[in-house]
């Protein structure tokens, strides 16, 4: 009886193990199926009604997609489709970030981020930029969006990606929206934010000043660039001494009420680093160099570029090639290099005639102002002006929608809001207990001025020599960059494009009270490409 009992127990145990193993195998197969269901089709033929003629996409041994088309618009339709095949979740997440809509995906924990991004208004600026762009640029953006949408039409839920399958559980009312050119343009604002980090330094200096630290000690913590030891490449009579320590502006004399408002910048400072993901070392720098053919064995120039963007999975960059089957005025692209998923064209790369690379120039392009606000008005030169007031609603998955009031002066958005439930609403508004400061803090930033950087990207892709390269660079507004250049005739060059504020008084390193001569609204921006001394050209 004991032996029989043991045999029965053994059979039950073996049956249980077999059942568990079978269930584990089924779960594993379902998991593999769920993950692989959204993998892109990389062979065979697909039909897209958006194309006017056949397009070929060849993927090399590394999976890099090279697109060949007879027509420029077809080229960008196919690029949009290919980007969406490989990276649509990344693209969709990015457009939610730039629009301040992450709470729609991830719930109440993202409300503060959305409040901050809506207040800055990246997407509102991107919407204004579209109409400023050249006709060809708008056509290419439209074609790209059509390609993305052709993919979206046939891919929803798990067929789009595993992430959408999970969203179907956590945010069951979420549906993928059609792609628009504004979605592409808004990502340029995110890159400008990521590469325009002087706001952190300015808020740190302001907080130290508000806490009573002596200005000379603050200057020791933030010393001037040592031009006496490291001359700039524009070390000419025209520019001599322009970066000297004597030119540094002094901290403005601020009333106690304004100093109290500066204390509220701590929330701004804490919010800044994590908007696009944390960085272990904010001082990491990119590098690039170019060598004339005079110094190479082949007689041809060498150009290399290592842009240090934050590590992410997937990468911020997407390697690709865009090739017109016959180069014509209507289809002038034969370009390969690195793009951003979500943005048409190649950002860093080469064509059959030239190559170019980027590193961050990082000038001071963000300025903080202490605005005297009275109700829904602010004071400029002793006169009241109405604030621009925008009402928006932040949708929150799994929570209640949040009504948001955004207020701006002619300089830029006030970094505070009346939105209940957000710590960021305290920025610049009664920042210290017991204080009733009439001052609030606004941000003026070159990226919040509608610009033409998208024109520059397509113009760089089409450029064939130094002059057309310089013309393309002159359209590159933000973020300000160091550009290196080489061509097949042996020439090398350097260009520093971008909008840089021209200060009326001081140097922009300190928050200033609105109403001083520096902040009367006469502040303008210049493109450094208008200065011949900003370029070098060396024959190979």
Query: For the chain, what is the total number of helices (H) and then of strands (E)?
Result: 14, 20
Q: What confidence score (pLDDT) does residue 436 get? A: 57
Rounded Cα–Cα distance for residues 225 and 217 (Å): 16
Is residue 41 predicted with pLDDT exceeding 80?
A: no
Which two three-digit tokens encode residue 256? 């106690």
Mean pLDDT of 10-17: 66
Rounded Cα–Cα distance for residues 350 and 444 (Å): 35
Q: How confident is the model at residue 262 (pLDDT cuts 50, 70, 90)?
A: low
Q: Identify the residue whose tokens are 């922009």.
A: 508
pLDDT tens for residues 56-66?
999 999 999 99
Q: How confident is the model at residue 378 (pLDDT cuts 50, 70, 90)?
A: very high
In percent, how much of the chain has pLDDT > 70? 72
Q: What confidence score (pLDDT) does residue 345 get? A: 98
Q: What confidence score (pLDDT) does residue 76 get? A: 98
Range with lowest mean pLDDT among 286-290, 294-298, 532-536: 532-536
Q: How confident is the model at residue 505 (pLDDT cuts 50, 70, 90)?
A: low
Is residue 417 predicted with pLDDT exceeding 70?
A: no
Mean pLDDT of 324-332: 96
Q: Please, which residues have CB within 8 angstroms of residue 211's CB and are 6 or more apart in sequence?
A: 263
Parallel, antiparallel, or unpaired: how do β-strands 499-502 and 524-527 relate?
Answer: antiparallel
Report the Cα 363 to chain-centroid distance in Å.
16
Annotate 4-53 with DSSP letters as a single string.
HHHHHHHHHHHHHHHHHHHHHHHHHHHHHHHHHTTPPP-SS----TT-SS
Is residue 426 predicted with pLDDT exceeding 70?
A: no
Q: Of 312-316, 420-424, 505-509, which has the strongest mean pLDDT?
A: 312-316
Q: Please, which residues have CB within 8 angstroms of residue 477's CB and are 6 or more apart in sequence?
A: 446, 447, 449, 451, 452, 453, 456, 497, 498, 499, 527
Q: What confidence score (pLDDT) does residue 457 get? A: 98
Per DSSP, the three-state class of 458 is: helix
Threshold 0.75, pTM exceeds? yes
Is residue 519 predicted with pLDDT exceeding 50?
A: no
Q: What confidence score (pLDDT) does residue 252 get? A: 67
Q: What confidence score (pLDDT) does residue 431 get? A: 39
Q: What confidence score (pLDDT) does residue 518 get? A: 41
Rounded Cα–Cα distance for residues 394 and 100 (Å): 8
Q: What confidence score (pLDDT) does residue 430 get? A: 35
Do residues 446 and 499 make contact, with C-beta atoms less than 8 angstroms apart?
yes
Do residues 141 and 130 make contact, with C-beta atoms less than 8 angstroms apart?
yes
Q: What confidence score (pLDDT) does residue 95 get? A: 95
Q: How confident is the model at residue 530 (pLDDT cuts 50, 70, 90)?
A: very low
Q: What confidence score (pLDDT) does residue 155 get? A: 87
Closest listed residue to residue 369, CA positions, set 510, 260, 507, 271: 510
Task: Give Cα separations from 303 to 318, 358, 458 (angstroms).
Answer: 20, 11, 20
Do residues 340 and 316 make contact, with C-beta atoms less than 8 angstroms apart?
yes
Mean pLDDT of 313-317: 87
Do residues 136 and 345 make contact, with C-beta atoms less than 8 angstroms apart?
no
Q: What confidence score (pLDDT) does residue 415 get? A: 82
Q: How confident is the model at residue 246 (pLDDT cuts 50, 70, 90)?
A: very low
Mean pLDDT of 370-379: 89
Q: Please, which residues have CB within 8 angstroms of residue 143's CB and are 6 or more apart in sequence?
A: 50, 72, 73, 74, 75, 76, 77, 80, 344
Question: Mean of the per-residue pLDDT values for the chain?
Answer: 81
pLDDT tens for residues 427-481?
333 333 444 567 888 899 999 999 999 999 999 999 999 999 999 999 999 999 9
Q: How confident is the model at residue 492 (pLDDT cuts 50, 70, 90)?
A: very high
Mean pLDDT of 487-508: 86
- Map 285-344 to HEC letters: CCEEEEECHHHCCCCCCEEEEECCCCCCCCCCEEEEEEEECCCCCCCCCEEEEEEECCCC
Which two three-digit tokens encode residue 359? 């590193």
Mean pLDDT of 47-58: 95
Q: What confidence score (pLDDT) does residue 211 get? A: 80
Range with lowest mean pLDDT among 120-129, 138-147, 186-195: 186-195
Report the Cα 394 to chain-centroid distance in Å.
21
Is residue 148 predicted with pLDDT exceeding 90?
A: yes
Q: What confidence score (pLDDT) does residue 421 get? A: 33
Range with lowest mean pLDDT among 19-28, 134-143, 205-214, 281-290: 19-28
Q: Higher pLDDT residue, 363 or 242?
A: 363
Strand partners, 56: 68
N residues, the chain:
540
Q: Of 159-168, 219-228, 366-375, 434-443, which has the strongest mean pLDDT?
A: 366-375
pLDDT tens for residues 65-89?
999 999 999 999 999 999 999 999 9
Q: Higher pLDDT residue, 396 or 240?
A: 396
pLDDT tens for residues 188-207?
999 998 887 677 788 788 77
Q: What confidence score (pLDDT) does residue 29 get? A: 54
Q: Higher pLDDT residue, 393 or 532?
A: 393
Per DSSP, the three-state class of 369 is: strand
Rounded Cα–Cα distance for residues 415 and 266 (Å): 12
Is residue 158 predicted with pLDDT exceeding 70?
A: no
Range with lowest mean pLDDT among 33-47, 246-260, 453-467: 246-260
Q: Of 205-209, 303-307, 504-508, which has the strongest mean pLDDT?
A: 303-307
Q: Identify the residue whose tokens are 């901050």.
A: 116
């Amino acid at each position: 009886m004991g032996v029989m009992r043991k045999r029965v127990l053994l059979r039950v145990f073996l049956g249980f193990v077999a059942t568990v193993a079978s269930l584990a195998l089924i779960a594993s197969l379902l998991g593999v199926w769920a993950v692989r269901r959204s993998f892109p089709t990389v062979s065979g033929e697909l039909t897209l009604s958006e194309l006017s003629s056949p397009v070929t996409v060849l993927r090399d041994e590394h999976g890099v997609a090279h697109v060949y088309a007879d027509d420029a618009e077809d080229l960008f339709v196919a690029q949009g489709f290919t980007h969406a095949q490989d990276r649509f979740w990344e693209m969709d997440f990015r457009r939610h970030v730039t629009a301040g809509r992450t709470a729609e995906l991830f719930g109440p924990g993202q409300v503060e981020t959305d409040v901050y991004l809506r207040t800055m208004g990246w997407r509102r600026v991107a919407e204004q930029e579209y109409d400023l762009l050249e006709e060809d640029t708008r056509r290419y953006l439209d074609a790209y969006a059509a390609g993305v949408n052709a993919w979206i039409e046939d891919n929803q839920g798990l067929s789009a990606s595993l992430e959408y399958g999970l969203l179907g559980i956590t945010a069951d009312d979420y549906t993928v929206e059609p792609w628009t050119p504004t979605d592409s343009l808004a990502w340029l604002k995110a890159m400008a934010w990521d590469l325009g980090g002087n706001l952190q330094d300015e808020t740190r200096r302001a907080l130290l000043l508000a806490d009573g630290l002596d200005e000379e000690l603050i200057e020791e913590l933030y010393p001037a660039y040592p031009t006496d030891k490291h001359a700039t490449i524009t070390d000419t009579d025209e520019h001599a001494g322009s970066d000297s320590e004597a030119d540094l502006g002094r901290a403005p004399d601020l009333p106690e009420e304004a100093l109290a408002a500066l204390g509220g910048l701590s929330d701004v400072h804490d919010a800044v680093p994590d908007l696009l993901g944390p960085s272990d070392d904010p001082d990491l720098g990119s590098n690039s160099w170019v060598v004339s053919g005079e110094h190479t064995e082949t007689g041809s120039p060498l150009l290399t570029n290592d842009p240090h963007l934050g590590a992410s999975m997937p990468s911020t960059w997407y390697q690709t090639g865009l090739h017109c089957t016959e180069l014509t005025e209507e289809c002038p692209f034969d370009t390969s290099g690195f793009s951003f998923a979500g943005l048409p064209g190649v950002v860093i790369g080469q064509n059959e005639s030239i190559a170019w690379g980027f590193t961050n120039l990082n000038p001071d392009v963000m300025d903080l102002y202490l605005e005297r606000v009275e109700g829904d008005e602010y004071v400029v030169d002793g006169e009241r002006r109405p604030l621009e007031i925008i009402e928006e609603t932040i949708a929150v998955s799994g929570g209640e929608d949040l009504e948001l009031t955004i207020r701006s002066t002619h300089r830029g958005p006030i970094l505070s809001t009346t939105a209940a439930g957000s710590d960021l609403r305290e920025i610049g508004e009664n920042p210290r207990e017991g204080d009733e400061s009439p001052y609030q803090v606004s941000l003026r930033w070159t990226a919040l001025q509608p610009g033409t950087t998208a024109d520059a990207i397509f113009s760089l892709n089409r450029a064939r020599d130094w002059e057309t390269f310089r013309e393309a660079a002159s359209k590159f507004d933000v973020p300000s960059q160091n550009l290196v250049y080489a061509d097949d005739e042996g020439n090398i060059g350097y260009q520093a494009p971008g909008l840089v504020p021209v200060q009326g008084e001081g140097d922009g390193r300190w928050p200033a009270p609105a109403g001083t001569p520096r902040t009367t609204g006469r502040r303008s921006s210049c493109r450094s490409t208008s200065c011949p001394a900003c370029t070098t050209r060396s024959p190979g």
